[in-house]
Amino acid sequence: MRKKGANGQESRARLLVVAANEFAKSGYHQTKISTIVSRAGLTQPSFYLYFESKEAIFRELMEKFRSELKGLIEGSRLESGIDEAHVSGRLLGVLTGLFTFLGKDPDLTQIGFFIGNDSVIVKAEMAAMIEQNLKGEQQDGYFDRDSDMHIVAECLVGVIERLTSQQLLTGKRTPEDLARHVVSLFMHGISIYPAK
């Protein structure tokens, strides 16, 4: 039976925060329940009031990341009727929001995007949702009709993944700066020469 009330909720929340940090720092297999409870200032029996196992707490953290990411992407599709001059700005807002989400809880991002067994599936789901959004936006006339939005979505997820690990989580770049570069690259390319 789990404790009820504010103290129980606080203890459970503290376990989740400490566990996320331990998993992100040490990986799943090296993380020990004894370390989690010690850092949380709780006892090992108290851990089992809230979670059945180390796998259960890890799974909950993974699902939290997955669910929040899914909600963010599902709500990011550009609505129809945007003036062409404002499309880049709207995309900048969407990507800034995504990088902000990935940077707000680095431990959870490490678990959900990089070290969890399901992280490959999470990124595949992310690419599929982005592809669906892009295809709708393509039909609305925002993007070239000949572009393969499956490839664009896969490239975008790869760019987001790499920039998150190498620039965002290391503190080298802000979400806004990364979003600006990605929008510029995908909307305008890097060439100064016109296409032939």
pLDDT tens by residue, 5-54? 558 899 999 999 999 999 999 999 999 999 999 999 999 999 999 999 99
Which residue, among 173, 28, 20, has the nearest Cα to 106 in the 3D structure? 20
What CATH code would you report for 6-51? 1.10.10.60
**CB-based contacts of 195: which residues, under 8 Å, 6+ apart?**
none
Rounded to two decimals, what is the model's pTM?
Answer: 0.89
Q: Which part of the chain has CATH 1.10.357?
A: 59-188
Identify which of 164, 137, 135, 133 has the alpha carbon closest to the alpha carbon of residue 148.
135
Burial 84-115 (b: 16+ CB within 10 A, else e): eeebbebbbebbbbbbbbbbebbbbbbbbbeb
Q: Which CATH number fits domain 59-188: 1.10.3210, 1.10.357, 3.30.390, 1.10.1740?
A: 1.10.357
| Residue at token pair 């699902």 | 63
pLDDT tens sequence across 123-174: 999 999 999 999 999 999 999 999 999 999 999 999 999 999 999 999 999 9
Q: Which residues in the chain are classed under CATH 1.10.10.60?
A: 6-51
**Poorest-pLDDT segment among 75-89, 106-120, 137-151:** 75-89
Cα–Cα distances in angstroms (integers) from residue 164 to residues 16, 36, 37, 100, 179, in the given order: 22, 26, 29, 10, 11
